[in-house]
Amino acid sequence: MRALFLTPSLRAGGAERQTSILLPGLRRRGVDARIIALDGGGPFVAPLRAAGVPVEVLDMRHQLDLFPLARSPLARTFRPDVIVSRGVSGLYVGHALSRWRHAAHVYNDHRPVGVEVSHRRRLMTRMLARRLRAVIVVSEDQRDEWFEMGCRPEQVVLIANGVPIPPAPPAGAGIREELGIPPEAVVALLVARMRPVKRVPDFVRVVRSAREERPELVAVIAGDGDDRALVDRLAEGDPAIRVLGHRDDVPRLLSAADVFVLASDFEALPMAILEAMAAGLPVLTTRSGAIPTVVSDGESGLLVEPGDMRGLREGLVRLAGDPELRRAMGTAGQRRCRESWDAETMIDSYLGALQDAVACGRPLR
């Protein structure tokens, strides 16, 4: 089977991280999986190429800028059996290519429910929804949106994200030393793209407040984005807040942390949380999207309502002061991740869904 993936970009983010796991896994299973990044590249280009995945990066300036696509060797010469698109640009380009190549078109939705989208995007998605061979969602709450847009129940396939389970965690002492973090510190790690929905500035404020009770707390923040300048200003001069920017060594950061925190208003099924659980960390996060089905409140982590910064502070204080609770929750989370969100299970599920889409025949008109 030949599969062409279309993605807006390969910048740092959960959907891109999932792509970097999925495509090499499909190729190991005999699928000729290739990918076009329509709007630009990013840090996941190199890992994909190193794993043997053909990657082509275009620089479409806007969604009607089709000249880079017309010159694309992959678009012109590769004849896929199935096209898997993501994002609004991927949706309409995938529709056009699927008709040209007589390929099945599958849409992969990672967008959290509740995030505002433009009227134009919603209209375009509704217009093309019924013509998709399948829609793969990553959480239950995404299903109803696709049903409202006209999809039939059999079109919508739920495949949870998955992450590799490390055979043994990398040593964390080295990176603590690099970052100047003392051994006795309790490290709260947040890994996220710095968009308003992620509430990274609020996380900085919460840590500063929690340190009034637990002065051993140290915050480490990995990621970049629109809120970076504000986060830098809030953290300026505070030795307990380390803002690292984008990092390619997130597993090392996880090994150096004691607690993983995500303060988002909206999520689908965050790869960052799954990777934290796989690394044996307790998770402090919000009840958003599929998170409550992943993080068992009081067993593998603590959940608060979105926007509840007081609850986030209380959870951080509680976890910072109880190393036994952290260990127990980390062990429980790692066990749950191994049982339900393993990368190999995810890859097998995608393979089955793509085979089903191809078996259905010509693309819908």
Give the pLDDT mean for 329-336: 96
The count of C-alpha atoms lying within 13 angstroms of the C-alpha of 356, restricted to the half-sphere facing its C-beta, is 16
* H helix or E strand, kind and range, residue 222: strand 217-222
pTM of the entire predicted model: 0.91
Domain 173-340 class in CATH: alpha beta
Closest by CA position to 200, among listed 190, 209, 187: 190
pLDDT bucket at 215, cuts 50 / 70 / 90:
very high
Q: What is the reported pLDDT for 169?
A: 62
Closest by CA position to 278, among listed 355, 116, 163, 157: 163
Cβ contacts of residue 187 below 8 Å, gap of 6+?
Answer: 176, 181, 218, 219, 220, 256, 257, 258, 259
The secondary structure of residue 257, as a DSSP letter, is -
The secondary structure of residue 327, as a DSSP letter, is H
How many C-beta neighbours within 10 Å does residue 197 have?
19
Q: Do domains 2-162+343-359 and 173-340 have the same CATH topology?
A: yes
316 and 284 Cβ atoms separated by less than 8 Å: yes
Residue for token pair 């089709």:
66
Rounded CA separation 166/363 (Å)? 39
Q: Which fold has domain 2-162+343-359?
A: Rossmann fold (3.40.50)
Q: Where are the domains of the chain?
A: 2-162+343-359, 173-340
Residue 363 has pLDDT above 80, yes or no: no
pLDDT bucket at 365, cuts 50 / 70 / 90:
very low
SS3 46: helix
Q: Which two tokens stand for residue 168?
A: 């043994």
Rounded CA separation 71/102 (Å)? 20
How many C-beta neighbours within 10 Å does residue 153 have?
8
pLDDT per residue as tens digits for the range 236-286: 999 999 999 999 899 999 999 999 999 999 999 999 999 999 999 999 999
